[in-house]
Amino acid sequence: MPTISRVLEDMSMEQATDAGVLLTDRVAVVTGGGGGIGAATAQLFARHGAQVVIADIDAALAEQTADAISASGGVAVPVVADVRDADQVAALARSVLDRFGRIDVLVNNVGHWLRHPGNFVDTDPQLWDELYRINLHHVFLVTHAFLPAMVCQRRGSIVNVSSVEGLRGYPEDPVYAAFKAAVIHFTRSLAVQVGRDGVRVNAIGPDVTESLQVPYSQWLSAEEQAQWPQWVPAGRMGLPADQARVILFLASDLSDFVTGHTIPTDGGTGAAGGWFRSSRRPDREWTNRPIAP
């Protein structure tokens, strides 16, 4: 039987949900929060009542997003930090905890494929190390810096941003794919370890989403843009706000019983499994030969 206090907590949660505000007075840190998915997440968190710390290596982007949040009546603090650097991560954690006294939500959003490497046999260990530091090592560093505070307060939500390439084979860059897959398994394993401490750990796996690293609107011709309904079951490319809404769900009490999972935020491309809607074959609606879908 649930305790009276638990019933009251549940009622409070329902009232907050009914009011449409999901992160009232919570302190959230979003790495890479200056642009793209990170900025959309920071802005959405602020609209839901969170006090948001925007950690970004780009001072101008961080300040721009923080100013936009402040102009809308929200609370945002820009912090310049390279999350690949242990000393800067430690300073970020001290700054947040000294200022707010707590950390309720951590979004490890930073990641990058850096550049097209060609075949694996043509790559070198320096590139592997760069990919490791920007896609996996910083997740360890930042989580390690903030997790003790969450455990101490016996409450917290960590959301890691992986990639669809961590969920499927990625022949263009097996090393990048390996690190993104490692983020997913770290998410799963840490969630089991800290679940009894009141900390939840989840992740998302984006695909086909407009971002700073993948600006589809600039890369694709008008003819290619028209192919989205054939390429993606949802019929369009993803936008940063699509990812932010799922991150909000995982950060909020709406997902209070969800931990250790990675949600593929891919518009259905994973479910399609390589099948494409055909516009050129009157005899068949679907094809798994995408040269001429």
Concerning whether 170 is annotated as a catalytic residue, the answer is no
Instruction: Give 278 or 240, the one with higher predicted confidence.
Output: 240
Give the pLDDT confidence score for residue 284 in this predicted structure: 67
Residue-wise pLDDT for 53-105, tens only, equals 999 999 999 999 999 999 999 999 999 999 999 999 999 999 999 999 999 99
CATH number of 22-221+236-268: 3.40.50.720
Task: For residue 114, give the amino acid letter.
Answer: L
pLDDT of residue 58: 97
pTM of the model: 0.89
Instruction: Quote the pLDDT of residue 285.
Output: 78
Crossing angle between the packed helical segments 125-132 and 174-194, to the nearest 10 degrees: 40
Instruction: Please give the helix or strand (H or E) that residue 287 lies within, else none.
Output: strand 286-287
- Residue 281 makes CB contacts below 8 A (sequence gap 6+) with 287
d(CA 38, CA 283) in angstroms, rounded, equals: 44
Q: Say yes or no to pLDDT of 200 above 50.
A: yes
**How confident is the model over 11-51, as pLDDT tens digits?**
344 444 444 899 999 999 999 999 999 999 999 999 999 99
Catalytic hit among 132, 170, 176, 216: 176
Domain boundaries, the chain: 22-221+236-268
What secondary structure letter does DSSP report for 266? S
